[in-house]
Structure 1
Amino acid sequence: MTRKYRLNLKQALFIMLVAAVGFSGCKKYLDVNQNPNNPENVDPTFLLPTTQAAISQVVGNSFQVFGNIWAQYWTQSPLASQYKSIDQYSPTNTDFDNPWLNLYRVALINDDMILKSPKSSANLNGIAYVLKAYTFQLATDAFGDVPLSQALQPTVYRNPKYDTQQAVYDSIFVYIHKALPLLNATGDASLGAQDMIFQGNMTQWVAFANTLELRAYLRLSNVDPATAQAGIAALYATKPAFLTTDATITYTATGGNENPLYNEMVSPVLAQTQNVVASSTIVKAFTQNNDPRLGKFFTLFIDKVAPVDSLESIPQGSFLDYPNKKVSPPSPLVGGEADNPASATAPVKLISAAESYFLQAEAVARGWAAGDVTALYDAGITASFAATGAGDPTTYINGLPALTTASVNDKVKAIITQKYYAMCGFQGFEAWTEWRRTGYPTFFAITAHSLIDPGQLPLRMLYPSSELTSNSSYPGTVPIYKPVWWGLPNP
């Protein structure tokens, strides 16, 4: 029986430190462009969990907080203060130092060491290319133009240039196409427990790569629909398998091995303070739909009777208007309840099965792929109900407008809106990203005490202060209300 490999970030960084010292002797082992002089001196399988742990730290913690607040699932609690600036659309550059470090100076640099190692297997290199594509997509979707072509080259170690988002997306497809034949190679020893996501299952990695490629092409639906359509047609010509199960990293209740968000919430700094609570934006939407997932994504107060009435929320960003009000927190299912140890075991979802089905449904709805749009749409909803334990979705699905006679735009709107519901708490960054791409759902509210121009919503993250102070190629601060390359402007 294969044991799942679980690694906390401290352990991952220790592995990276040992590896870096072993083949470079350089104290600045975390630098984005540190030169791994002799990658042959480290077992590359040790670098895989390090890479995956760093990605999960970003997806499951910093991007989880920003995403869930800016997607209006969560808002700042009136009884705390940690995320007030995020909820008021006024983050600082320093807020993004940690995610940038984990993406560039841990995930990508260790991933690059795998690819440069002569000891690496075909399967391991295939995974590394997929993770490289995934990580660069995270970075460019968050920040816009980012270092790519010079990012991991020691000859330009100090000041890597910023490449355009279009160039980054071109590279994403290149990395995925390099990965697929390597993932399909036979005869390699199983990576087993060293692979925290699929435990060495190459069939699942192929499905992950295909699903990631579909996601990336659909991201271009507005900015470059011709490329998106042609790319999806070529993908479907290969008769691809897509994810039917969640791609996750799982955690335990053991100290240091908890869900990354919960691990931070119980740290001495936050001391189990409940900073994030239910936003009325999502609660109203779930309530209007009689959606049973509401009580799964948020913790209900036990002194109430009716399920809907027992959930307390406040309008987005209105923490100043409700002093001393107790508001429902995100549930342990998504790792968001600070004083509930069950939050420790919440998974970090890199791509969910629900997302996979909704991506396929959108490709069909746009006429870019063959398939049954209704069946795929229903499968996305069903996967979400199963993941939350919300019961049989038949009644919910039957209450939705049929897609069969809807226009293309109405089909896409329905698909993205249902994807938004499914991503609540689990995939906040991805939900916010899809809203930036499509404008759906259409019921977002301006935060109550915004500190930016009236009517504006956040459309990107700020470059970190570490780039401002250390990289002479730094392109300057871009306002958070300016859309990224593939994104829509503020409505």
Structure 2
Amino acid sequence: MKIFRIIAVASVFVWSTSSCEKYLDVNDDPNKTEFASLDVVLPAAQASTCIHVGGELFNLGGFWAQYHTQSPDAGQYQDIDAYNVSVDFFDRTWQELYAGALNDYKYIRENADGTNNAYYLVATLMEAYTYQVLVDLYGQVPYSEALQGTANLTPAYDEGQAIYKDLLSRIDEAMARYSADPANGEAPSGNDIIFGGNMSRWIQFGNTLKLKMLLRVYRVGDIFDQAEVIALANGGNLLSVNAQMTLFEEAANKSNPFYDVNYDRLGGVNHAASQTIVSFYQANNDPRLDTLYEPGSGGAYTTKPQGDFANRDISFDALAEPIVFELKPIVLFSAAEADFLRAEALERFGGGGQTAYEEGITASFAMYGIADTVADDYYGAGGPYEWIAGGTTEDHIKQIATQKWAAMANSQNLEAFFEINRLGYPEYKTLANAQPGDLVYSLASVLPPGQTPQRLLFADVSKSRNPNVPAQSSGDVAVPIWWAQ
């Protein structure tokens, strides 16, 4: 399949430590053509974003959102589980998202400007999504001076607030341009690996992305637009399906990247189910447990808390583990997430989020083949997820945040980590005081008591070469991102 060959090329760059150098070589190679077809560049760019969000960053988010923990039979990810973050964490992700995805989106935007509004829109939205991920991981990243090749090898780091503000403006401009003249240029088709060229879905993606970003900055007055949030939540044409990459095969180097690295290459010995999420599902008799986690050899969902490296009394075989498979989709947005975003917006600013909250639970259950009538029982009268009648706004925000966390398990791990830090739910407790639905401080934490990871440290690949990287200490991993301060 032609499309998969393109993605396979992108995947090679993803796992290569020299992708940045390869990119510079391409820029300087006189034998390379000066123009690459947009229908070839787009899927490679999309694959770059998806493979990182669904690969290394999926792994990181799974530990820090407490969906999985380091198993006792291996130690590959003990540093992540212990919050022992160093500057060389995710150098490859940093390199490839800039040299690959973002560089390609810039190329598409520049070459589609005025000639193809559909490609311009898709590239703008995917660029904004990718930058949003980077800003939410690091706080500040190169933006206004980025992607200039040899013209500027030491770009300044822009403040996250300024980046968000400009991204929201870019999204509005691209969506308005497409809406004004959708026939300008041929739209993507099968080479669009997210929606197959369905531009109506891309409009919904743009609206959903705007709502997510606006809610993420609702404490930041010069960016937040309450009127737009209310408009988007009240019939703003949001996603009702998952935005996801599904083009994987049951073959080495062609499968889901998290599976490929951790199961095909490393033997599947690193990840055990986290006690945190499993205890929540068990306490509520939640049917999603059976679709997301596999019981241990004894048939029970035996688990360990985060960072419990010293306790080796339980064998890995006896532990429950996440269900991961070659064809597992990489989800950028889920329909449930869109519903929970609406629920939060309406609860905070629009007169009540109950209906959207219940629709989010239904969408999450449906994602795993669980009938709507079953979901009804869970949020209906007397159900474990029943809306708190007469509850405060904060009571309801906690419910929404908790259900979003439960819905994102083993599918949107990184976004779950961001939302935990933004919303403050689920809350952290010591292991002795934790109840089902509470996060726990890692037993192996290297941070001071009461502190948890909020960000990554600036990438060493940039820090070692760029004097404009902001000063930072190892303890800054616990400093909240600007939108959570």
Q: Into which bin does the TM-score normalised by the smaller protein fall?
A: 0.7 to 0.9
1:59 correspondence with 2:41: no
Distance apart, 1:396 and its partner CA: 1.4
- Within 2, Cα distance between the matches of 1:211 and 1:464? 29
1:439 correspondence with 2:435: no
Distance apart, 1:401 and its partner CA: 3.4
1:113 correspondence with 2:107: yes
Corresponding residue for 1:205? 202
Counterpart of 1:215 in structure 2: which amino acid? Answer: K
Corresponding residue for 1:20? none
1:279 correspondence with 2:274: yes
Distance apart, 1:94 and its partner CA: 1.4
Corresponding residue for 2:387? 402
Corresponding residue for 1:338? none
Distance apart, 1:107 and its partner CA: 0.5
Corresponding residue for 1:19? none
Corresponding residue for 1:418? 403
Corresponding residue for 2:362? 382
- Secondary structure at the counterpart of residue 379 of structure 1: helix
Map 1:337-376 onto structure 2 (within 5 A). Answer: 343-367=325-349, 369=350, 373-376=353-356
- Within 1, Cα distance between the matches of 2:5 and 2:237? 29
**Count, aligned residues:** 458
Counterpart of 2:406 in structure 1: which amino acid? Answer: Y
1:125 correspondence with 2:120: yes
Residues 410-458 of structure 1 deviation map (CA, whole Å, 9 limit, x = unaligned): 1111111100000001011111100100101122111011112222110
Is the Cα contact below 8 Å between 2:250 and 2:327 reproduced in 1? yes
- Within 1, Cα distance between the matches of 2:112 and 2:441? 52
- Within 2, Cα distance between the matches of 1:216 and 1:401? 28
Is the Cα contact below 8 Å between 2:263 and 2:269 reproduced in 1? no
Distance apart, 1:98 and its partner CA: 1.3
1:240 correspondence with 2:236: yes
Distance change (3 Å), C-alpha of 1:32 and 1:349: farther
Distance apart, 1:89 and its partner CA: 0.5
Residues 270-294 of structure 1 deviation map (CA, whole Å, 9 limit, x = unaligned): 2x13211111111111111121111
- Within 1, Cα distance between the matches of 2:48 and 2:456? 19
- Within 2, Cα distance between the matches of 1:245 and 1:121? 26
Is the Cα contact below 8 Å between 2:361 and 2:407 reproduced in 1? yes
TM-score scaled to structure 2, two decimals? Answer: 0.88
Q: Which runs of 5+ in 1 are unaligned?
A: 17-25, 305-309, 336-342
Distance apart, 1:174 and its partner CA: 1.3
- Secondary structure at the counterpart of residue 186 of structure 2: coil
1:86 correspondence with 2:80: yes
- Within 1, Cα distance between the matches of 2:268 and 2:13? 31
Map 1:68-107 onto structure 2 (within 5 A). Answer: 68-107=62-101
Distance change (3 Å), C-alpha of 1:7 and 1:139: farther
Q: Which runs of 5+ in 2 are unaligned?
A: 428-437
Is the Cα contact below 8 Å between 1:76 and 1:275 reproduced in 2? yes
Corresponding residue for 2:461? 466
Is the Cα contact below 8 Å between 1:298 and 1:328 reproduced in 2? no
Is the Cα contact below 8 Å between 2:378 and 2:386 reproduced in 1? no
1:164 correspondence with 2:159: yes
Residues 52-99 of structure 1 deviation map (CA, whole Å, 9 limit, x = unaligned): 111111110111111010011110000111100000110222122011
- Computed over aligned residues only, the root mean square deviation of the Cα atoms, in angstroms, reads 2.8
Percent pairwise identity: 32
Distance apart, 1:8 and its partner CA: 7.0
Of residues 186, 192, 195, the one that matches 1:195 is 192
- Secondary structure at the counterpart of residue 163 of structure 1: strand
Distance apart, 1:207 and its partner CA: 0.2
Distance apart, 1:462 and its partner CA: 1.5
- Within 2, Cα distance between the matches of 1:194 and 1:296? 31
Of residues 8, 11, 20, the one that matches 2:9 is 11
- Secondary structure at the counterpart of residue 321 of structure 1: coil
- Within 2, Cα distance between the matches of 1:14 and 1:298? 30
Distance apart, 1:407 and its partner CA: 1.4
- Within 2, Cα distance between the matches of 1:67 and 1:171? 26
Is the Cα contact below 8 Å between 1:354 and 1:380 reproduced in 2? yes
Is the Cα contact below 8 Å between 1:183 and 1:205 reproduced in 2? no
- Within 1, Cα distance between the matches of 2:24 and 2:139? 21
Distance change (3 Å), C-alpha of 1:345 and 1:183: farther
- Within 2, Cα distance between the matches of 1:222 and 1:7? 44
Deviates more, 1:105-114 or 1:259-268: 259-268
Deviates more, 1:353-362 or 1:100-109: 100-109
Residues 196-235 of structure 1 deviation map (CA, whole Å, 9 limit, x = unaligned): 0000000000000000000000001234398242441464
Distance apart, 1:27 and its partner CA: 9.1
TM-score scaled to structure 1, two decimals? Answer: 0.87
- Secondary structure at the counterpart of residue 355 of structure 2: helix
- Within 2, Cα distance between the matches of 1:234 and 1:288? 37
Corresponding residue for 1:21? none
Distance change (3 Å), C-alpha of 1:128 and 1:90: same
1:311 correspondence with 2:301: yes
- Within 1, Cα distance between the matches of 2:202 and 2:173? 13
Distance apart, 1:30 and its partner CA: 2.6
- Secondary structure at the counterpart of residue 127 of structure 1: helix
